[in-house]
Homo-oligomer: A and B are copies of this chain.
Amino acid sequence: MGISKTEHYSNKHNEIAVLLKAVAHPARVAILEHILKVNACICNDIVNELPLAQPTISQHLKELKNAGIIIGSVEGNSICYCVNEKAIAKLLKLFEGYSGKIEKNKNKCC
């Protein structure tokens, strides 16, 4: 991304950005929604759903996992990926907070 000045921002803002960045890609949005839909997902399943090669999807899954958006548990030969409730709750609360602030300040500007 270029010379990112992570250390200059607050921890809070960095953490929010990491979570959001993990979801901020059409392939990862699709993966997330697919996992939510079938609710017992294995990687190969997604390979058949998306127009991406297996290594690419594996990489996207890794990023979602690193950010804590999904959790993977080994299940015999394959891996079961599930969405991390806490991460989604965190993002939900974030936008609830933003939304609330907009309501509160309505008609003060613009």
Number of copies: 2
Interchain CB contact (< 8 A) of A39 among B6, B36, B80, B109: B109
Given known A5-B52, A25-B21, contact A36–B105 (CB-CB < 8 A): yes
Interface size in chain A (residues, C-beta < 8 A): 49
Interchain CB contact (< 8 A) of A24 among B20, B41, B85: B20
Given known A13-B29, A26-B17, contact A109–B88 (CB-CB < 8 A): no
List chain A positions with a Cβ less than 8 A from chain B.
5-6, 8-10, 13-14, 16-17, 20-21, 23-30, 32-33, 36-37, 39-41, 50-52, 71, 73, 80, 82-83, 85, 88-89, 91-92, 95-96, 98-99, 101-102, 105, 108-110
